[in-house]
Structure 1
Amino acid sequence: MLENPVWAALSGPQACYAEASGDAARYTSDISPFAGLADPADRAAWGDLARLTHEALLTGPTLNPGPGWKTEVAVPGLQMVGRAMTGVADPDTVVLTENDVPEVLDLVERAKPGPFAKRTIVLGRYLGIRVDGRLVAMAGERFRVPGWTEVSAVCTDPDFQGQGLGARLTLAVAAGILERGELPFLHAATDNERAIRLYERLGFEPSHEVVFALFRYAG
């Protein structure tokens, strides 16, 4: 499941957020640009994806586009799992809701943690830290697959980096996941060595290499 987390999420715990066609599914565009295929090596599944959208972001260990699809951008990444870690609740965090989305999107624009849309926040529990009322850091849950939930959107305002806020939020989100009897996992860009070292210190272990790739259909 973790090798194909988007499909596992959209065909399982997060099916309520999916648009599906055959062996392809995607989140609605106001939630996330990610899509998944039951088997990325199946050319027919890429045809199903073309019936859903002409642009999609996919992730997995190996992604070779089907007929008519072209790779626009590909970023190497690393999936990490928290099988033996211990989360830490943080009393200074606040639960973010849809009412906070304007502030969240403003923080995302400044900190650039990756894709985040107007309704991404519905995918799970998002926590934030405020300083003098201003949202300066956040983290939350994105892909949910049976037994696992992804920690995502870990970001800190550039003016407040270096204070350990991202680490605190990562541990707090992980604590909520562990309390549900699930395990946390996350992704980092391969060249983001600082983040990878941080996650290792927090108790995450490398699982396998992945790629994040944006594909466009021109068939």
Structure 2
Amino acid sequence: MTEAYVSTRFEGPEAQGTPSGRHPLDNPALGSLTGPHAHFAERRGRVLRYPLDVSPWLALPHDPGAADWADLAALVGPGGAVPLAGFDGRTPDGWEVIFNLDGVQFVDDGLDAAPDAEAVRLGPADVQDMLDLVERTQPGPFEQRTVELGTYLGIRRNGALVAMAGERLHPPGWTEISAVCTDPAHRGEGLATRLILAVAHGIRERGETPFLHTAASNTGAIRLYESLGFRLRRTVRFMAARVPERLEDGRTVGVG
């Protein structure tokens, strides 16, 4: 068996977020795709995923069994890459782990959230500019329809998009701030901070709580988030595995 996505579960009042005793942020992709983002969900059995042009994330149930792994394999197809968020178990034999990243999850614990006069709402007409900025800055996965996941705000200078931030995963009561990026020529101007606080303001206006993820090695981002009023909730390890041609029971993926 191969270790997949490991989380340190939060102990305390927040852990009472679901009937199972698990907090919604323990498996945020599952909470999103069975909650506010259910209209995006592609499903096979208990396995869900976003359309690939929206987001690469998939969601397994908290207690996946052999049938769930078979459904996941059939949904993705043999040889396909499976990124997982919120899975804290182990992958079956034969699933090659192709990506591992130690990360951290932060939650709002006193942000001075506020709208920003220079920030503009980004939409479908801005997607090419957003993709170009993502290409220059590499903040993480961002696809043609990612903008549909929630509110995205940007700052333009002389017509060019130079910074943005927006919303991604959306388990009930929570919204993830993601795609925070600034053009290298405009770093050090505080644009990312302003956009994070502006996006957080919109989330709070809906009565929800902002959260976000970053790599555990990204010490600069961690210092920024802590200075803004985010609190570390847990450590995580993101992973991706490749679907085998055959499952443990010998069945060919997608057959039987």
> Normalising by structure 1, what TM-score?
0.96
- Distance in 1 (CA, whole Å) between partners of 2:33 and 2:207 is 20
Stretch moving more, 17-26 or 147-156 = 17-26
Superposed CA RMSD in Å reads: 1.3
Percent identical: 49
Determine if the alignment matches structure 1 residue 65 to structure 2 residue 80.
no
Which structure would you say has the larger Rg? 2
Aligned residue for 1:94? 120
| Residue 140 (structure 1) aligned with residue 166 (structure 2) | yes
Maintained 8 Å contact 1:128/1:139? yes
Alpha-carbon distance between aligned partners in 2 of 1:105 and 1:211, rounded to the nearest angstrom? 26
Query: Cα deviation per residue 1:37-80 (whole Å; 9 max; x = unaligned)?
Result: 11255343222211210322112373421344221011010000
Q: Which amino acid aligns with 1:154?
A: V
Which residue does 1:80 correspond to in 2? 106
Preserved CA contact (<8 Å) 2:30 2:86: no
Deviations along 1:155-178, one digit per CA (max 9) or x if unpaired, are 001111111111110000000000
With over 3 angstroms needed to count, the CA separation of the structure-2 counterparts of 1:40 and 1:160, relative to structure 1, is farther
Question: Unpaired runs of 5+ in structure 1?
Answer: none
Select the structure that is richer in strand: 1
Secondary structure of the 1:51 match is helix
Deviations 1:60-108 (A, max 9, x none): 3734213442210110100000043231110100000011000000000
CA distance in 2, matches of 1:63, 1:120: 28
Equivalent pairs counted in the alignment come to 219
In structure 2, what is the Cα distance between the partners aligned to 1:67 and 1:21?
21
1:170 paired with 2:196, answer yes
Aligned-partner residue type, residue 195 of structure 1: A
Match of 2:32 in 1: 9
Task: Please give the alpha-carbon distance, in whole angstroms, between the structure 2 residues aligned to 1:168 and 1:56.
Answer: 34
Letter in 2 for 1:2: L
Whole-angstrom CA distance in 1 between matches of 2:46 and 2:151: 28
What are the ranges of 5 or more consecutive residues in structure 2 without an aligned counterpart?
A: 1-23, 247-256
